[in-house]
Amino acid sequence: MELRKLDPFQAFTMLGLTVLALFMLLPIVFIINHAFKPISELFLYPPRFWSNQPTLFNFQQLILKSQTTVIPFSRYLFNSVLTTVLTVAGTIFVSSMAAYAFAKQRFIGRELFFSFTIIALMFAPETVAIPRYLVIANLGIMDTYLVHVLPLLAAPVGVFLMKQFMDQIPNELIEAAKIDGAKEFVVFFRIALPICMPAVATIGILAFQGSWSQTETSALFTFTESMKTLPYYTLTLTNGLANNVVGQGVAAAAGLIMFVPNLVVFLLFQRRVLNTMAHSGIK
């Protein structure tokens, strides 16, 4: 649409949305700018949005601090990357398989089980903390990589979004594939799943954000320091009376490292997220 062809209402709307977008961009700019502030500017009052003397000192201190600890920074980063990749892949697989069963299979109790899934959306994570701990303890997976992954695979939101997409797949298309000799798994992986790629991308983003920022599993379910993840290590940078002041710069640098992957993943798949919302009935 050319700017010359805009009527006054459209021009006003575009101007308002542009101003709103710039306003919403401010927190992102602040997070990036905050990580490059020297210690002298971190505690100024009133706080400054822009840094007068940007520096890499905070990142240098983060590297030096990790080198003086028993567990290196790279170990925490490796744990986060590994568990996040496994969580994203597992969540997509479990959610899509469950959604396909709810949408295209006929079995006793289908509506009841799907109702349980919808009801699960109502529960805050804090309400299931004790049952989750008991289940994990009884499974014997405490202090393992699996404990970072398994609790996050149950994603009711992912099942709901995938089912909304699966419902739109014509049953005739699936029946035609089965008549041609396609097995159930072939129908799922070659027909149903490719059609639902916008929902898959959305579930992947949600799973990535939930796993990448997860601190509960490291705090409650792991005892060995080498099994903990980067978000937990970031929290420890400001623990203690001394670190509460000195560690702010290091924590700002680590916080930026934690934030950038979330931003990049969302920007890469934002178009598919919008497609998901348009097709799933969510307005």
Helix, strand, or coil here: 153? Answer: coil
Helix, strand, or coil here: 27? Answer: helix
State the amino acid at position 253 in one-letter form.
A
More confident residue, 228 or 123: 228
pTM: 0.80
DSSP string, 193-252: HHHTHHHHHHHHHHHHHHHHT--HHHHHT--SGGG--HHHHHHHTT-STTHHHHTHHHHH
The confidence score (pLDDT) of residue 81 equals 92
Peptide linkage before 261 cis (omega within 30 of 0): no
Over residues 11-25, the mean pLDDT reads: 85
Is pLDDT of 91 > 90? Answer: yes
Confidence of residue 245 (pLDDT cuts 50, 70, 90): low
Q: What integer best gives the mean pLDDT of the chain?
A: 82
Confidence of residue 257 (pLDDT cuts 50, 70, 90): confident
The confidence score (pLDDT) of residue 240 equals 52
Among 20, 89, 101, 99, residue whose Cα is nearest residue 276: 99
State the amino acid at position 88 in one-letter form.
V
State the amino acid at position 240 in one-letter form.
G
More confident residue, 13 or 2: 13
The confidence score (pLDDT) of residue 282 equals 42
Low-confidence winner among 50-54, 96-100, 101-105, 226-230 (lowest mean pLDDT): 50-54
Low-confidence winner among 6-10, 72-76, 136-140, 143-147 (lowest mean pLDDT): 6-10
Q: How many helices (H) and strands (E) does the chain have?
A: 16, 0
Residues 6+ apart with CB under 8 A from 58: 35, 36, 37, 249, 250, 252, 253
Residues 6+ apart with CB under 8 A from 171: 104
The confidence score (pLDDT) of residue 283 equals 40
Is pLDDT of 86 > 90? Answer: yes
> Are the C-beta atoms of 136 and 147 separated by less than 8 Å?
yes
Among 74, 218, 236, residue whose Cα is nearest residue 144: 218
Among 219, 255, 217, residue whose Cα is nearest residue 234: 255
Domain spanning 53-279: CATH 3.40.50.80: no
Over residues 2-15, the mean pLDDT reads: 73
What are the tens digits of pLDDT across the range 191-239? 888 888 888 888 888 899 888 988 888 888 888 888 888 888 887 776 6
The confidence score (pLDDT) of residue 241 equals 44
- CA 136 from chain center: how many Å? 22
Is pLDDT of 84 > 90? Answer: yes
Low-confidence winner among 2-11, 105-114, 244-253 (lowest mean pLDDT): 2-11
- DSSP letter for 48, please: P
Over residues 141-156, the mean pLDDT reads: 88
- Compute the distance between CA of residue 20 and CA of residue 32 in angstroms, rounded to an integer: 20
Confidence of residue 281 (pLDDT cuts 50, 70, 90): very low
- Compute the distance between CA of residue 134 and CA of residue 158 in angstroms, rounded to an integer: 24
- Compute the distance between CA of residue 122 and CA of residue 107 in angstroms, rounded to an integer: 25
The confidence score (pLDDT) of residue 8 equals 76
- Compute the distance between CA of residue 27 and CA of residue 33 in angstroms, rounded to an integer: 10
Q: What is the residue extent of each domain of the chain?
A: 53-279
